Every structure is written in structure tokens, then in C-alpha cells.
């Protein structure tokens, strides 16, 4: 919510990918062959094989959906699940294999649904539980998975558990939350998650006459996971979603479950890890389910456990939330750190790769308004080892909004723009949140047939990687160059090898690789040249993929 080792390579199939920040994406650039925007039938068949079985999530492309902002079906200005169902074919055609839904539970919406008032139901504004059942059925019919947001650290203060807990100190749920006679306890060492959520993590409840603990907004009291009944209750809630057909969970700030007296263990205390193992054990009783952690910033190793007993995936924020500095001398360090962290993950762990989410600025904003920068960042995301998560609207370069309903993060949560004109295909009514600027220009309608559009770029890149296991599970390692303006890394498995090189310069690049892979280079994506002498030439702000034969 807020928050490699190389293997033996077959010499008969060697591929090098080079990505630079390049001119072919800019108006007036010299023409080049257009990459296909749809995968070949052979790629589609290969993808179907990779996406079948317990390791499906390693090869999937996920799409984060803010249901409230995606598609309104009934004219009330709020996106809903029937609206999402109506757009499944668009997502399938884009190259999406799985959906992650931001919270759709009943909620007073004090924190955009992350204040859950009922773990077992779907808010009527989104269509209720029957609409979720339809979504699962229709998504599965298209071979797409559905992952729901599981917010376990806290509930809304409107949740029936809290309403009962606050009555007195002796009721059956009196110990479901963290209470104190004063605004602090010696065994609870952490304050609010950030200043955004207040200056104190303790709020007075006049009805009970005590203070309750909240890491986030005061309307989000923390559950007391030292109470076994709480652990049992939330596992029952998770089971309900699995029984309803959900393919897994994105787990919100999951590392904060258990409070401790040690300020160094505010996240991922041993007791928290034990609860996560129980959640994983529950998932493992269902076929082909997966879950992804929202870690705190830094090394996510603790979220994987042995690689088989905790999370299947954890988001990589070391690059994903800071790539905006990737167009400076610091960018190589960012990628190096990210790769070093993932190289230390236990066997079985899978990196979850992002360049944006509902909690941070829009990718277009992070790119300082330069589309080519977002494209280059997306290429790194989609060609690193791991599972990519695309945030809705990134594929059209959605602009940030200025309206605020909940907090400043609403700038990245504006409605999707589907068409030109009033309502932009999102609603026939008044949208719950104002559209961002350039809503006509960034609509799917405007970009659909434009060969230079962001949408065409995303379709092409997703088609390029589809059905190729090397992108999702192949080994990766950094490759050195004699310039600080290029980031390069090698991707390989037993069938093929790729070299990814990203230029950070707006000037043409002429650099030398420290390690020149053998073979004759054939350009298969973008523009550039790779000489036998190891010199790499790239256009300004461009990208190129070379196959070495």
C-alpha cells in the first residue's frame, strides 16, 4: 500500500539485446522496421505452455487495476467490476496474463479501500460479490488470472471486529486490536509509518476509554496478531477468497503484522514470518495459487524464507521506485544494487518488477514528462529477470491529475482514458476523480492505430518477450562498459542470450563493452550497431536488440 549466476549456454542460439534511450521514439526520427504488435502463433503456444502449472506466475505479465478508475458500467462515475469485465479483451490483446485488483472490499474509503470494513465481501459500488464471480469466470475463460489485494495489517474502524472490540475490555473481540491505557506501550516500539499518517500512532477511543494503535491513518486500527483468534480469522478470510476462485494475493504492508519492543524489528519480526508461513501453507492446499509481498524499501530477501515456504514474489522497489534518477550517473548503481539483491534470493524466489503503482507518482511524471524515458524504464522492467507488473494507464502514458479525494496519491489514480470527448469512454456520468491533462491525446482510441504511440510501444515490447522463458527465469548479470552513460546486463538460459544496454544520454553513444559476446550481430529491435571489436553504437534515446549468430 505504501510502500545470478550464469548457466551453460547453447552456442547454437546466442542473442544480445541492447536498449538505449533513443531517437526512433521521437517525432522526426529516421524510419525503421516496425516490430510486430502481436506475438506470433508459435509464441502464443509457447506462452500457453509456460503459463500452465504451478510456475505460471513466473512467466506472466500482471496488470494492476484500480477498479474504481478503470471502467464505469452504470454511469455513477465510479469504475466497477462489470466495467472491468467489458475491458478484458483489451487487456488480453495487450498481453496481460493476470490482474491484481486494488481493494474491492466494503470500505468507508478513508484510505482508498485500504481501510477494509469487511474481509469477505465486495463493495456494492463495484457490483458486489456476484460481479466478482463473473469477473473470475470471464477472466479464466480467457486464460487470465485474478489476484486480490489482501490488507491484513489493519482494518477500518468501521469493521465489525473493531466495533465490537471498542465496546469494552471484556467482549469476545476485546483483544483483536492493540489497546493501551496511555498513548504508548513499552512492547510497541514503532510510530506511524510516515508523517502523512499523523504524529502519533495512538488514537483515543472515547467509547472504550483507551488508546488504540495505528501505523497508518487513525481510521485504520492495527490488528493484534499476538491473539491466535486474529490469525485464525484472517486465514479464514483468505480461504474465502481462494474458494471464490481468486488465484492469489498481493499482500499489503505484510511485514508489519506483529508489533515488538525492538524498533529494529518493526518489519518482518519472527512472529510475522511465522504467520506468513501459515498463509503460504494455506495457498499450497489450492492448485496453482501465488502471492506477492509489498515489502518495505530495501532488501526483500526476508519475504521469501526458504524460497518455497513464504512469498512466491516480492516487489523490487530498489529500482522500481527510484528509476527516475536512472538518467543520471546514479542509474548504474541502482541496477547493480537491484541485481545484487535479487542474486542473493533463495532458489525459487521470483522478483516482481515495477516502474510505478498506486502509491507513487505516475511513470510519466517520474520520467520528467519525457516519453522516451518511460519507454526505456519499461524496457528495463520488462527485460529484467522476474515478473513484470504494469500499472493501469502506463501503456498509454497516462498523465497525473490534480484532483484530491483522499490524499496526494490520487494524482496517480485518475480514471483511465478510453476515448476522445466527454467522459473519455470511462463514464457517462461525472467521474469520481477528475481526469488528468491530455485525456484525449492519451486515450486508447487516439493511440490505438498510431505507430509512434506509447500503446503501440507496449504492445510491441510485450509481444517481443512473449513465450520466451529467458526473460522471466533466465540468469542475469551486469556487463561493464567504458562509459557511465550506459547500463548493460546479460540475460541467458540454455537456449539464448541477450545483452540489455540502456543509454542514459540524449546524445549518440559510441562505447566499448568490457565483455563482447561472440557472434555476428543482427538487429531485431530498434536501431544500433555492435561491432566485432566490441564497440556499441546507439542513437540518442534509442533502443536496439541484436541477435548474435
Q: Which residues in 87-135 belong to E strands, given as ranges?
A: 98-101
Count H helices and E strands in the chain, helices first.
Answer: 16, 20
Residue 210, classed as helix, strand or coil, is strand
Catalytic-role residue among 55, 115, 252, 371 = 252
**What distance in Å separates the CA atoms of residue 257 and residue 106, rounded to the nearest whole number?**
21
Question: Strand 290-293 and strand 248-251: pairing?
Answer: parallel
Secondary structure in 3-state letters for 525-544: EECCEECCCCEEEECCECCE
310 alpha carbon, distance to own chain's centre: 18
Planar angle of CA 487, 97, 448, nearest 5 degrees: 75
Residue 254 is classified by DSSP as G
Residue 90 burial (CB count, 10 A) = 14
Residue 334 burial (CB count, 10 A) = 20
Size (the chain), residues: 549
Residues 538, 18 contacting (CB under 8 angstroms): yes
Q: Annotated catalytic, 493? A: no
**What distance in Å separates the CA atoms of residue 530 and residue 498, rounded to the nearest whole number?**
13
- Up-side HSE of residue 405: CA atoms within 13 Å toward CB? 20
Residues 112, 123 contacting (CB under 8 angstroms): no
Q: Annotated catalytic, 252? A: yes
Catalytic-role residue among 72, 111, 157, 294 = 294
Residues 510, 535 contacting (CB under 8 angstroms): yes
Residues classed as catalytic = 252, 294
Amino acid at each position: 500500500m505504501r510502500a545470478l549466476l550464469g548457466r551453460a549456454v547453447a552456442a547454437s542460439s546466442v542473442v544480445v539485446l541492447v536498449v538505449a534511450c533513443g531517437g526512433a521514439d521521437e517525432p522526426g526520427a529516421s524510419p525503421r522496421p516496425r516490430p510486430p504488435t502481436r506475438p506470433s502463433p508459435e509464441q502464443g503456444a509457447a506462452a500457453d505452455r509456460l503459463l500452465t502449472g504451478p510456475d505460471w506466475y513466473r512467466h506472466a505479465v500482471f496488470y494492476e487495476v484500480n477498479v474504481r478508475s478503470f471502467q464505469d458500467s452504470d454511469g455513477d462515475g465510479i469504475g466497477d467490476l462489470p466495467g472491468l469485465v467489458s475491458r478484458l479483451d483489451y487487456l488480453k490483446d495487450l498481453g496481460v496474463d493476470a490482474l491484481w485488483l486494488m481493494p474491492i472490499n466494503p470500505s468507508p474509503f478513508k484510505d482508498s479501500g485500504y481501510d477494509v470494513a469487511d474481509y469477505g465481501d465486495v463493495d456494492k459500488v463495484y457490483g458486489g460479490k456476484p460481479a466478482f464471480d463473473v469477473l473470475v469466470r470471464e477472466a479464466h475463460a480467457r486464460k487470465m488470472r485474478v489476484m486480490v489485494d489482501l490488507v491484513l495489517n489493519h482494518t477500518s474502524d468501521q469493521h465489525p471486529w473493531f466495533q465490537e472490540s471498542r465496546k469494552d475490555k471484556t467482549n469476545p473481540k476485546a483483544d483483536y486490536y492493540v489497546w493501551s491505557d496511555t498513548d504508548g506501550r513499552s512492547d510497541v516500539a514503532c510510530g506511524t509509518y510516515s508523517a502523512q499518517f499523523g504524529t502519533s500512532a495512538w488514537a483515543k477511543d472515547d467509547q472504550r476509554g483507551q488508546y488504540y494503535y495505528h501505523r497508518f491513518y487513525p481510521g485504520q486500527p492495527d490488528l493484534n496478531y499476538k491473539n491466535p483468534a486474529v490469525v485464525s480469522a484472517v486465514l479464514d478470510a483468505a480461504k474465502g477468497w481462494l474458494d471464490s476462485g481468486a488465484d492469489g494475493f498481493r499482500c499489503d504492508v505484510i511485514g508489519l503484522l506483529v508489533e515488538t519492543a525492538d524498533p529494529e524489528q518493526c518489519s518482518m519480526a519472527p512472529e510475522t514470518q511465522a504467520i506468513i508461513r501459515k498463509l503460504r501453507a494455506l495457498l499450497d492446499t489450492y492448485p496453482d495459487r501465488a502471492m506477492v509481498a509489498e515489502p518495505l524499501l530495501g532488501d526483500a530477501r526476508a519475504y521469501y524464507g526458504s524460497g518455497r515456504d513464504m512469498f512466491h514474489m516480492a516487489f523490487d522497489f530498489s529500482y522500481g521506485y527510484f528509476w527516475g534518477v536512472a538518467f543520471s550517473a546514479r542509474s548504474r548503481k541502482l541496477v547493480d544494487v537491484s541485481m545484487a539483491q535479487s542474486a542473493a534470493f533463495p532458489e525459487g524466489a521470483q522478483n516482481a518488477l515495477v516502474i510505478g503503482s498506486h502509491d507513487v507518482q505516475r511513470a510519466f511524471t517520474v520520467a520528467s514528462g519525457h516519453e522516451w524515458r518511460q519507454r526505456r524504464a519499461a524496457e528495463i522492467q520488462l527485460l529484467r529477470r522476474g515478473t513484470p507488473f504494469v500499472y493501469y494507464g502506463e501503456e498509454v502514458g497516462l498523465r497525473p491529475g490534480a484532483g484530491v479525494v483522499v490524499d496526494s496519491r490520487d494524482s496517480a489514480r485518475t480514471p483511465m482514458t478510453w476515448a476522445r470527448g466527454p467522459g473519455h469512454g470511462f463514464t457517462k456520468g461525472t467521474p469520481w476523480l477528475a481526469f488528468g491533462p491530455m485525456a484525449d491525446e492519451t486515450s486508447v482510441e487516439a493511440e490505438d492505430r498510431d505507430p509512434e504511440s506509447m500503446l503501440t510501444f507496449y504492445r510491441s515490447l510485450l509481444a517481443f518477450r512473449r513465450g520466451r522463458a529467458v526473460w522471466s527465469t533466465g540468469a542475469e548479470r551486469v556487463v561493464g562498459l567504458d562509459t557511465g552513460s550506459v547500463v548493460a546486463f546479460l540475460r541467458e538460459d540454455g537456449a539464448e542470450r541477450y545483452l540489455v544496454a540502456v543509454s542514459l544520454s540524449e546524445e549518440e553513444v559510441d562505447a566499448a563493452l568490457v565483455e563482447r559476446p561472440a557472434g555476428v550481430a543482427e538487429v531485431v529491435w530498434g536501431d544500433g550497431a555492435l561491432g566485432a571489436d566490441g564497440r556499441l553504437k546507439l542513437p540518442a534515446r534509442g533502443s536496439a536488440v541484436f541477435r548474435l549468430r
